[in-house]
Amino acid sequence: MAEQSASHEAGFRLVRSRSSVPRARALLRANLGEWRAGQEVVETAELVLSELVTNAVRVAVPGDRMIGVRIECRDQGAWLRLEVSDAGDGRPEVRWPGELDTGGRGLLIVDALAFCWGVRNGRPGSGRPSGRRS
């Protein structure tokens, strides 16, 4: 009989603040540790999530809308999905900054580390960039 894969899911909301980036990493690390994901998976996921949450913090949104994060993990990190919802109206785009530019590399990093990534529109104003590693 085939062994069923372990699947885990967690979600949380963050305030729109730069302090939410390390908070997101800590919550991700705690969940992946509990789910026994390997150290390389944890480190890569922390970097990807940091970039996605940083982008979400920077997006202009109405009022005090929060940032949503959802983590889905299977087989101790062999398959991992990270979703970040920012309630912004636009779509994130990969930028190609110059050598002297101090920012604009976030989605290049996500693209390099994730198996695939994309944007899914939910209800109006809830764009969801996400990255998946498998």
Nearest-angstrom CA–CA distance, 99 and 83: 29
Using pLDDT thresholds of 50, 70 and 90, give the confidence band for residue 4. Answer: low
Predicted local confidence at residue 123, as pLDDT: 52
pLDDT in tens, 33-44: 999 999 999 999
pTM for the full predicted model = 0.82
pLDDT in tens, 56-99: 998 888 777 899 999 999 998 899 999 999 877 777 778 887 88
Query: What phi and psi, each to the nearest 5 degrees, are found at residue 104?
Result: 95, 15
Sheet with 67-74, edge to edge strand ranges: 7-14, 67-74, 79-85, 127-133, 116-121
- Please answer whether residues 67 and 20 qualify as being in contact, where contact means their C-beta atoms are separated by less than 8 angstroms: yes
Nearest-angstrom CA–CA distance, 86 and 106: 15
Predicted local confidence at residue 128, as pLDDT: 47
